[in-house]
């Protein structure tokens, strides 16, 4: 098949390269479909998937029987199965759900029961004393807790990148800077109008995250949900703070708020967050001093020793929440169109499972493909702390970002390698450059020099990547 | 100064190699100095002058010289070379002086960890190596506090930089990141930002200072006025706005009004912090107040094989001060190698009481007749304060002097305020007079 033919004759067009779109692209490609991923941003993971807590959830607290619960369980299992082959990190931290008040303590048995209902059988109750034994830095007033041993920490960016990379290595195509503006279904195929011209595919999968409802409207004329972005702000402590805890510390959720999580990151930091704030803006996740100060205070209430540690980074993300609790997955009869919307707060965990579910949904009306004879397993360069890093190897060309130990070779690879980054945001997510304690004080100049030829060629201005923060 | 440029150039290729084969297969030196800024280079030169055989300076940047490399403005060099120099020329002179004294400098080498021995783990293009020394000087300088660490709200567009990053972009790479930024802060470095802006034809729209007066003294009086930049005192920067680049900021004026300023960038200047990253994971004791290591009057750390000098000791001093400190601590290291320094065990701790003193250096004094490297206690206050600076030793309290102090200005008290053989703890307190 000629390249031209491939490009114009897709089986599947996935709109959106968030974690969900990346996982779906991988799934369908490995099933044998010819897939195009269409993303409006210059780089992947520029929407909801840009910023999250990076926890690989078990789904222990998901509503039993929900689509979400089953996707998380399947996604968790699949990640464990494939992460080593793709070179993706897994930090087997486990989690503690901690009760700080009597009211919360009374809710623990109910939550443990729900966990078992969700197939998470290995939860275990701990008294205050046992909790302290496991996590000595916790504040005195712990009432009780239970463990969720298989809640893990992963790398929120290399995971979806790995999924898409495997899709690409097996024949998928990605179009970036390629906003979908509209489209028509002629009874056989879709013709999508994008800013880069028309793209034709038999089936369209809407994985547009924070724009899921808008894409539904544009392509099918209606939508069954509306996105109500919910902001989550985080503060990130410098690396020494991560030695204070071993587990992910989860709060007991109540009806008002899910509460504040304390969690190590794959990069060796400690994060405290998120908030949950409804807003209309789908683009900007603005930080607020009050929220950041409140997180700092809450963090110190949970782990008093945090008072002696520095916050080095802050960020905020937007959850694609809707008026519904569950995921919004709809196959539109006779339209060759599947909506994968409202993946609000567990998409990183569920993505691989969601992708499997979408393939099953597809098979209900579409035909199976011919899987490729051999499957390629590309490996992602590691940026997580507990695994070997490039700076430890010969020929790394020296370190550019001193705080996160990002080498010149890693940056060059991100700029020139597969799915080369085209924006400073993309470069940060791929390499972590500038995301450490100095936030660009030392390396902005060197990075600007290295990236200028690449990003200018892609149409970005110097100004947009010179100021790194 | 053609000589220094040539030497630098000749030094270039060797730098690219990082550590490979540069000082013998065993990677050993009498003294290894971490950081080729004014403090590290001054110490290295002094160590050679004192006859120490192998003195090696390691720096993680591609070029030696430290921060002044990209501070393309005056004033540098008066104390060291008795002439007024711009930063880059000053940095080249420091490097040339060190090389001429027989110091070996290796760039592109980043120190990752410190352990007793002293043993250093370093990384470069050659991967990870181990380096042994008899003494180590840590002179890794200080950096400005980021927008993130200050909890400034709003979005995260491009175009928000520290002064250090701005000067790097401008002087090292020739990039103009914005045309009409807001400058946050009025420390010395903030005026350095103004000079850099002027150099490029950048017109800051305002200089914003939360305090009631500018933090720095001498340039503050005239520079913004000459440049026609509004100086907004008692004004807080609330949020930064913009998607891919800054579109404006919101500020709170002294009367409580919230205003919006159009701007296409923000220079978040000052609030220096010691670059103590390698100390965080080490066995060396840190002082929460300075953010640097605890040192005695010789610049010795809690592990007496390690010394520290320059802005790592405390935020923040001038290059000339750091250079002077480096030179003096370099001399002390030479004495230490000759076994002339007293043991650390007998020292007394120097502490602070009350809320207005922010830090003190040195934090430990060892009774001895050997002249100190740091000959005075250095203090800073956290807010404008007036009163008596008192010293208590073992319950006995005396007034050292009366003091009227503002943040970020030098306060010095000679070490000789201490009795000859002090015991216990020396506690300084600024007892504020009623206002
Ligand atoms: C604060 C916070 C904490 C979280 N913590 C966790 C966690 O710990 N664990 C976990 O599993 N999950 C977590 N999540 C949830 C997870 O991040 C989301 O569920 C997930 O990112 C949703 O991904 P998505 O692919 O559906 O959407 P998105 O990432 O938004 O992807 C949609 C993509 O579509 C593109 N697009 C939109 N419109 C168009 C168009 N017209 N044309 C072309 N492309 C278009 C967008 O640019 C975007 O890249 C968290 C989320 C937040 C906000
Ligand atoms: C924007 C700006 C403008 C200034 N303007 C003036 C001025 O006009 N006049 C003046 O007198 N002073 C000025 N200063 C202050 C002056 O630059 C400092 O006082 C001086 O550089 C301090 O010297 P130092 O040797 O302590 O540290 P630095 O100059 O910061 O040198 C530290 C060196 O250590 C290296 N290093 C750090 N960590 C490691 C590691 N782990 N491994 C290897 N190497 C490492 C760094 O790469 C750096 O080269 C300015 C500072 C700034 C930021």
pLDDT in tens, A429-439: 999 999 999 99
pLDDT tens-place string over residues B7-16: 333 333 333 3
For A299-351, what is each residue's pLDDT tens digit? 999 999 999 999 999 999 999 999 999 999 999 989 999 999 999 999 999 99
Q: Are B252 and B282 in the same domain? A: no
How far, CA to CA in Å, does A301 sit from each of A69, A137, A141, A310? 31, 11, 9, 16
Q: Per-residue pLDDT averaged across A11-38, rounded?
A: 98
Classify residue B17: in a domain, yes or no: no
Place of tokens 């949950």: A276
Residue-wise pLDDT for A163-217, tens only, equals: 999 999 999 999 999 999 999 999 999 999 999 999 999 999 999 999 999 999 9
B245 within some domain = yes
pLDDT band at A256; cut points 50, 70, 90: low
Are A314 and A290 in contact by the 8 Å Cβ rule? The answer is no
Strand order across the beta sheet in which B181-184 lies: B160-161, B265-268, B181-184, B206-208, B231-232
- Answer whether residue B12 is part of any domain: no
CATH number, position B238: 3.50.50.60
Burial A201-217 (b: 16+ CB within 10 A, else e): bbbbbbbbbbbbbbbbe
Note whether B95 and B191 are same-domain residues: no
Mean pLDDT of B173-184: 93
**Model pLDDT for residues B412-426, shown as the tens digit of each residue:** 999 999 988 888 899
Domains in chain A and their CATH numbers? 3-51+157-225+324-365 (3.50.50.60), 90-152+228-319 (3.30.9.10), 390-466 (no CATH)
Whether B8 maps to a domain, the answer reads no
pLDDT at A106: 97
In a domain, residue B242? The reply is yes
Angle separating helix axes A19-31 and A347-365, nearest 10 degrees:
40
Same domain assignment for residues B404 and B307: no
At A404 the pLDDT is 96
pLDDT band at B18 (very low <50, low <70, confident <90, very high): very low
Task: Looking at the structure, tell me whether residues B150 and B261 fall in a common domain.
Answer: yes
User: Which of B287, B305, B337 represents a domain boundary (last residue)?
Assistant: B337
Q: What average pLDDT does the structure give for chain A?
A: 94
pLDDT recorded at residue B363: 98
pLDDT (average), residues B349-359:
95
Strands (E), B46-201: 55-59, 104-107, 110-115, 119-124, 127-138, 142-144, 153-154, 160-161, 181-184
Q: Does one domain contain both B125 and B180?
A: no
Q: Is A324 on the interface with B (CB under 8 A)?
A: no
How far is residue A238 from each of residues A269, A436, A440, measured CA to CA in Å?
A: 6, 8, 15
Final residue before a domain boundary, out of B311, B337, B363? B337
Tell me, yes or no, whether B257 and B108 share the same domain.
Answer: no
DSSP secondary structure letters along A435-468: -STTTTTTTHHHHHHHHHHHHHHTT--HHHHHS-
The pLDDT value given to residue B2: 29
Residues B95, B164, single domain; the answer is: no
Residue B171: the pLDDT is: 85
Written as one string, the DSSP assignment of B253-286 is: -TTS-EEEEE-SEEEE---EEE--HHHHTSSS-B
pLDDT of B184-202, one tens digit each? 999 999 999 999 999 889 9
Q: Is A279 on the interface with B (CB under 8 A)?
A: no
User: Does residue B176 share a domain with residue B200?
Assistant: yes
Is B247 contained in some domain? yes
Please give the Cα distance from A227 to A282 (Å, whole number).
9
Structure confidence at residue B5 (pLDDT): 28
Distance CA A335, CA A341 (A): 17
Quick one: B163 and B248 in the same domain?
yes
Spell out which residues of chain A touch residue B279, defining contact as CB-CB under 8 Å.
none
CB A189 within 8 A of CB A201: yes
Given this model, what pLDDT does residue B434 score?
Answer: 74
**Chain A contact set for B157 (CB, 8 A):** 464, 467
pLDDT in tens, A95-151: 999 999 999 999 999 999 999 999 999 999 999 999 999 999 999 999 999 999 999
A293 interface with B at CB cutoff 8 Å: yes
Confirm or reject: Cβ of A52 under 6 Å from ligand 1. Answer: yes
pLDDT of A318 reads 97
- Distance from the Cα of A440 to chain B's closest Cα (Å) equals 7
Task: Work out whether strand A248-251 and strand A197-206 pair parallel, antiparallel, or are unpaired.
Answer: unpaired
The answer to whether residue B2 is domain-embedded is no
Tally the domains of chain B.
Answer: 3
Please say if the pLDDT value at position B264 is more than 60: yes
Q: What mean pLDDT value characterizes chain B? A: 91
B138 with B280, same domain?
yes
Structural domain boundaries, residue B280:
24-143+273-337
Whether residue A207 has its Cβ less than 6 Å from ligand 1: yes
Q: Return the pLDDT at B146.
A: 96
Contact A417, A31 (CB under 8 A): no
A315 chain-B contacts, CB cut-off 8 A: 156
pLDDT at A6 > cutoff 50: no
Mean of the pLDDT values across residues A403-418? Answer: 96
Dihedral, CA of residue A288, residue A294, residue A295 and residue A300, to nearest 10: 150
Q: What is the mean pLDDT of residues B280-302?
A: 97
Extended strands (E) in A16-117: 35-38, 55-56, 95-99
Q: Is B157 on the interface with A (CB under 8 A)?
A: yes
- Tell me the DSSP string of B310-349: GGGSSS---HHHHHHHHHHHHHHHHHHHTT-SPPSTT-EE
Output the residue whose Cα is nearest ligand 1's atom 33: A16
B102 and B28 within one domain: yes
Q: Please check whether residue B65 lies inside any domain of the structure.
A: yes
Please tell me the predicted confidence (pLDDT) of residue B222.
78
- Is the pLDDT at A5 greater than 80? The verdict is no
Residue A442's closest chain B neighbor by CA? B165
pLDDT of A254: 75
Among B286, B303, B337, give the residue marking a domain's end.
Answer: B337
Q: Are residues B254 and B187 in the same domain?
A: yes
Query: Which among B151, B158, B176 has CB closest to A468?
Result: B158
Q: State whether residue A313 sits within 8 Å of chain B by CB.
A: yes
Query: Which amino acid residue places its CA nearest to atom 16 of ligand 1?
Result: A347
Residues recorded for chain B: 435
Give the model's pLDDT for residue A459: 37
Nearest ligand, measured from the Cα of A321: 1
pLDDT in tens, A279-307: 999 999 999 999 999 999 999 999 999 99
Torsion region of A273: left, alpha or beta (phi above 0 gives left; psi -120 to 50 gives alpha): left
Lowest mean pLDDT among A119-133, B220-234, B301-315: B220-234
Question: What is the C-alpha separation between A342 and A206, in angstroms, rounded?
Answer: 11
Q: Which of residues 78-137 of B touch A (CB under 8 A)?
A: 108, 110, 112, 123-128
């Amino acid at each position: 098949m000629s390249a031209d033919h491939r490009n114009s004759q897709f089986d599947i067009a996935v709109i959106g390269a968030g974690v969900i779109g990346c996982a779906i692209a991988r799934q369908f490609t490995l099933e044998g479909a010819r897939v195009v991923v269409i993303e409006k941003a210059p780089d992947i993971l520029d929407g909801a998937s840009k910023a999250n807590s990076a926890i690989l959830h078990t789904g222990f607290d998901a509503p039993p029987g929900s689509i979400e619960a089953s996707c998380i369980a399947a996604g968790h299992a699949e990640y464990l199965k494939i992460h080593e082959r793709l070179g993706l990190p897994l930090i087997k931290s486990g989690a503690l759900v901690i009760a700080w008040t009597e009211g919360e303590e009374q809710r623990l048995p109910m939550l443990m029961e729900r966990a078992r209902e969700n197939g998470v059988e290995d939860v275990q109750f701990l008294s205050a004393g046992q909790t302290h034994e496991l996590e000595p830095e916790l504040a005195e007033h712990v009432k009780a807790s239970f463990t969720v041993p298989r809640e893990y920490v992963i790398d929120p960016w290399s995971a979806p990148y790995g999924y898409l990379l495997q899709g690409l290595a097996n024949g998928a195509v990605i179009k970036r800077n390629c906003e979908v503006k509209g489209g028509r279904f002629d009874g056989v195929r879709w013709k999508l109008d994008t800013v880069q011209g028309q793209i034709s595919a038999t089936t369209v999968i809407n994985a547009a995250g924070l724009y899921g409802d808008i894409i539904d409207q544009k392509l099918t004329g209606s939508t069954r949900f509306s996105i109500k972005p919910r902001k989550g702000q985080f503060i990130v402590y410098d690396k020494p703070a991560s030695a204070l805890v071993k587990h992910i510390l989860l709060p007991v959720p109540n009806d008002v708020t899910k509460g504040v999580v304390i969690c190590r990151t794959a990069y060796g930091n400690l994060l405290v967050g998120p908030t949950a704030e409804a807003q209309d803006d789908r683009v900007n996740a603005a930080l607020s001093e009050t929220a950041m100060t409140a997180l700092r205070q809450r963090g110190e209430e949970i782990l008093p020793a945090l008072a002696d540690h520095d916050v080095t980074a802050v960020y905020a993300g937007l959850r694609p929440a809707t008026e519904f609790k569950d995921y919004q997955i709809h196959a539109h009869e006779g339209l060759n169109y599947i909506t994968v919307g409202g993946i609000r707060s567990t998409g990183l965990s569920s993505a691989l499972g969601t992708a499997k579910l979408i393939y099953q949904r597809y098979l209900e009306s579409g035909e199976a493909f011919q899987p490729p004879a051999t499957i390629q397993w590309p490996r992602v360069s590691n940026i997580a702390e507990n695994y070997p890093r490039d700076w430890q190897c010969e020929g790394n060309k020296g370190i550019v970002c001193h705080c996160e130990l990002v080498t010149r070779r890693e940056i060059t690879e991100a700029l020139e390698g597969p799915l080369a980054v085209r924006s400073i945001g993309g470069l940060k997510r791929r390499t972590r450059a500038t995301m450490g304690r100095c936030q660009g004080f030392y390396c902005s100049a060197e990075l600007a020099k290295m990236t200028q030829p690449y990003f200018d060629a892609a149409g970005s201005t110097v100004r947009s990547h010179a100021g790194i923060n | 100064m053609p000589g220094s440029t040539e030497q630098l150039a000749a030094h270039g290729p060797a730098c690219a190699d990082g550590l490979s084969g540069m000082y013998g297969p065993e990677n050993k030196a009498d003294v290894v100095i971490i950081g080729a800024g004014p403090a590290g280079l001054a110490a290295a030169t002094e160590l050679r002058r004192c006859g120490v055989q192998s003195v090696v300076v390691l720096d993680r940047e591609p070029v030696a010289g430290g921060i002044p490399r990209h501070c393309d403005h005056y004033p540098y060099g008066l104390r060291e070379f008795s002439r007024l120099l711009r930063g880059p020329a000053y940095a080249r002179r420091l490097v040339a002086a060190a090389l001429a004294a027989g110091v070996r400098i290796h760039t592109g080498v980043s120190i990752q960890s410190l352990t007793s021995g002293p043993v250093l783990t370093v990384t470069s293009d050659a991967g990870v190596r181990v380096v042994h020394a008899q003494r180590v000087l840590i002179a890794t300088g200080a950096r400005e506090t980021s927008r993130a660490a200050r909890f400034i709200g709003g979005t995260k567009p491009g175009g928000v930089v520290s002064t250090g990053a701005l000067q790097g972009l401008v002087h090292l790479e020739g990039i103009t990141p914005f045309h009409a930024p807001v400058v946050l802060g009025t420390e010395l470095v903030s005026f350095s930002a103004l000079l850099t802006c002027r150099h490029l034809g950048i017109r800051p729209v305002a200089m914003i200072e939360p305090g009631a007066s500018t933090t720095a003294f001498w340039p503050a009086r005239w520079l913004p006025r000459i440049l026609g930049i509004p100086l907004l005192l008692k004004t807080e920067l609330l949020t930064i706005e913009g998607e891919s680049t800054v579109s404006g900021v919101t500020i709170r004026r002294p009367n409580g009004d919230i205003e919006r300023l159009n701007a296409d960038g923000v220079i978040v200047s000052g609030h220096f912090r010691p670059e103590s990253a390698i100390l965080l994971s080490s066995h060396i004791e840190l002082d929460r107040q300075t953010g640097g290591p605890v040192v005695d009057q010789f610049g010795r750390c809690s592990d007496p094989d390690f010394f520290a000098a320059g802005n790592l000791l405390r935020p923040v001093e001038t290059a000339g001060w750091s250079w002077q400190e480096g030179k003096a601590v370099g001399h002390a290291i030479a004495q230490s190698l000759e076994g002339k320094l007293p043991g650390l065990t007998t020292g007394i701790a120097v502490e602070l009481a009350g809320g207005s003193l922010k830090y003190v250096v040195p934090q430990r004094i060892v009774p001895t007749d050997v002249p100190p490297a740091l000959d005075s206690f250095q203090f800073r206050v956290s807010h404008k304060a007036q009163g008596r600076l008192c010293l208590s030793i073992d319950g006995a309290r005396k007034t050292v002097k009366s003091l009227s102090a503002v943040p970020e200005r030098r306060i010095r008290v000679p070490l000789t305020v201490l009795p000859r053989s002090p015991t216990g703890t020396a506690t300084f307190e600024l007892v504020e007079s009623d206002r």
